[in-house]
Amino acid sequence: MVQKHFSRKFDAELPNELGLSSGRKRVFIGFKIDRNGNVVNIRAKAPHPKIKSEVISVMKKLPKMTPGRQRGKAVGVKYNIPFTLIVE
Protein backbone atom coordinates (compact mmCIF):
# COMPACT_ATOMS: atom_id res chain seq x y z
CA MET A 1 0.00 0.00 0.00
CA VAL A 2 2.84 2.38 0.84
CA GLN A 3 4.62 1.71 -2.44
CA LYS A 4 1.41 2.25 -4.44
CA HIS A 5 0.77 5.54 -2.61
CA PHE A 6 4.36 6.57 -3.23
CA SER A 7 4.31 5.81 -6.95
CA ARG A 8 1.13 7.92 -7.37
CA LYS A 9 2.20 10.93 -5.28
CA PHE A 10 5.97 11.24 -5.85
CA ASP A 11 7.07 13.77 -8.50
CA ALA A 12 8.91 11.42 -10.87
CA GLU A 13 10.35 14.32 -12.89
CA LEU A 14 12.09 15.87 -9.88
CA PRO A 15 15.30 13.75 -10.04
CA ASN A 16 15.78 14.66 -13.72
CA GLU A 17 15.45 18.39 -12.99
CA LEU A 18 18.14 18.51 -10.29
CA GLY A 19 21.18 17.97 -12.47
CA LEU A 20 22.14 14.62 -10.94
CA SER A 21 24.34 12.30 -12.96
CA SER A 22 22.34 9.75 -14.93
CA GLY A 23 21.84 6.25 -13.63
CA ARG A 24 20.17 4.53 -10.71
CA LYS A 25 19.94 6.36 -7.39
CA ARG A 26 18.97 4.63 -4.16
CA VAL A 27 16.58 6.21 -1.67
CA PHE A 28 15.93 4.76 1.78
CA ILE A 29 12.82 5.56 3.82
CA GLY A 30 12.37 4.68 7.46
CA PHE A 31 9.17 5.27 9.40
CA LYS A 32 7.05 3.89 12.19
CA ILE A 33 3.35 3.16 12.37
CA ASP A 34 2.41 3.84 15.98
CA ARG A 35 -0.20 1.92 17.95
CA ASN A 36 -2.89 4.40 16.85
CA GLY A 37 -2.12 3.83 13.14
CA ASN A 38 -0.36 7.17 12.55
CA VAL A 39 2.81 7.38 10.45
CA VAL A 40 5.54 8.91 12.65
CA ASN A 41 9.34 9.26 12.83
CA ILE A 42 9.76 9.59 9.06
CA ARG A 43 13.40 9.52 7.96
CA ALA A 44 14.85 9.52 4.47
CA LYS A 45 18.27 9.16 2.91
CA ALA A 46 18.45 10.45 -0.66
CA PRO A 47 21.08 11.70 -3.14
CA HIS A 48 19.73 15.29 -3.03
CA PRO A 49 18.05 17.41 -0.30
CA LYS A 50 15.07 18.24 -2.55
CA ILE A 51 14.41 14.55 -3.17
CA LYS A 52 14.62 13.93 0.57
CA SER A 53 12.07 16.68 1.32
CA GLU A 54 9.74 15.37 -1.43
CA VAL A 55 9.94 11.85 0.02
CA ILE A 56 9.10 13.10 3.51
CA SER A 57 6.22 15.22 2.22
CA VAL A 58 4.72 12.25 0.32
CA MET A 59 5.06 10.02 3.39
CA LYS A 60 3.26 12.59 5.56
CA LYS A 61 0.25 12.30 3.23
CA LEU A 62 -0.21 8.60 3.96
CA PRO A 63 -3.65 7.75 5.35
CA LYS A 64 -4.12 6.24 8.79
CA MET A 65 -2.90 2.63 8.84
CA THR A 66 -3.87 -0.49 10.73
CA PRO A 67 -1.35 -0.87 13.57
CA GLY A 68 0.54 -4.09 14.21
CA ARG A 69 -0.78 -6.44 16.88
CA GLN A 70 1.09 -8.50 19.41
CA ARG A 71 -0.67 -10.68 21.98
CA GLY A 72 -3.95 -9.01 21.08
CA LYS A 73 -2.71 -5.45 21.70
CA ALA A 74 -1.93 -2.76 19.14
CA VAL A 75 1.81 -2.01 18.94
CA GLY A 76 4.02 0.32 16.94
CA VAL A 77 6.04 -1.20 14.09
CA LYS A 78 9.10 0.25 12.36
CA TYR A 79 9.50 -0.12 8.60
CA ASN A 80 12.38 0.50 6.19
CA ILE A 81 11.71 0.73 2.48
CA PRO A 82 14.48 1.08 -0.12
CA PHE A 83 13.67 2.09 -3.66
CA THR A 84 15.52 3.09 -6.80
CA LEU A 85 15.11 6.23 -8.88
CA ILE A 86 16.29 6.26 -12.46
CA VAL A 87 17.83 9.58 -13.52
CA GLU A 88 18.02 10.19 -17.25
Domains of the chain, residue spans: 2-87
Please check whether the domain covering 2-87 is classified as CATH 3.30.160.
no
- On the question of pLDDT at 17 being above 90, the answer is no
Residue percentage of the chain with pLDDT more than 90: 56
Q: Residue 69: is its pLDDT beyond 90?
A: yes
Q: What is the DSSP string of 30-77?
A: EEEE-TTS-EEEEEEE-SSHHHHHHHHHHHHTPPP-PPEEETTEEE-E
8 phi, psi to nearest 5 deg: -80, -35
Residue 16, pLDDT > 90, answer no
Question: Lowest-pLDDT range, 26-30, 38-42, 48-52, 82-86?
Answer: 82-86
Q: How confident is the model at residue 84 (pLDDT cuts 50, 70, 90)?
A: confident
In this prediction the pTM is 0.82
